[in-house]
Structure 1
């Protein structure tokens, strides 16, 4: 297609303040994604907005397989949906109290803090 710009699974944007580490979750505007590489603030970086990723989670959060999950942009981790968090996807495995990561299928749609 002559009007095709880029595949929507990977979006290239400028890194926010503080830059990004490879594999880090990030909210940029209304997009949530996972950084493809480590970059400094303002550098162009591809973020993946779809796929399944192992992400940090609040260790005390109890998340069931198939449950909707949200990104806490202050703590930079997955948590249960609540005010101030960004809905980003669905847990594909259970992750109980004491577990520090969870596998998440990203929705690939725009998000906003609840």
Structure 2
């Protein structure tokens, strides 16, 4: 195909306000991904839009295998889908009370705050 650019698993975007740390979730418009490197604000950073990642969650939040998950950009954690959060994928392991991470499969679909 003459018009193919890339598979889209990694996208280059400007780092958000305040910069980003490697492994941190990033929202740029309707795009969510995980930063591959640490980058200062407004510099280019590669983000992964698909794949499986251990991401932070609030210790009191509980997820079952297969639960839909969303990104809370204010708290920088995975949370249950709710108004104002960005749907990003599915929990692929259970994560109980006291756990600080949940394993998430990113769906790679453009997102918007619910």
Same fold, judged at TM 0.5 (above): yes
Superposition CA RMSD, Å: 0.8
Deviation, 1:6, is 2.7
Q: How does 1:1-114 map to 2 (within 5 A)?
A: 1-114=1-114
Deviation, 1:3, is 2.2
Give the Cα separation in 2 of the matches to 1:6 and 1:20.
Answer: 24
Q: Deviations over 1:91-112 (max 9, x none)?
A: 0000011110000000101001
Give the Cα separation in 2 of the matches to 1:33 and 1:57.
Answer: 16
- Give the TM-score taking structure 1 as reference length: 0.96
- Give the TM-score taking structure 2 as reference length: 0.96
SS in 2 for 1:74: coil
SS in 2 for 1:38: coil
Moved over 6 A (4+): none
SS in 2 for 1:70: strand
Q: Deviations over 1:11-62 (max 9, x none)?
A: 1111111111001001110000000100111111110000000000011111
Give the Cα separation in 2 of the matches to 1:13 and 1:99.
Answer: 31
Give the Cα separation in 2 of the matches to 1:53 and 1:66.
Answer: 14
Give the Cα separation in 2 of the matches to 1:90 and 1:59.
Answer: 18
Unaligned stretches of 5+ in structure 1? none
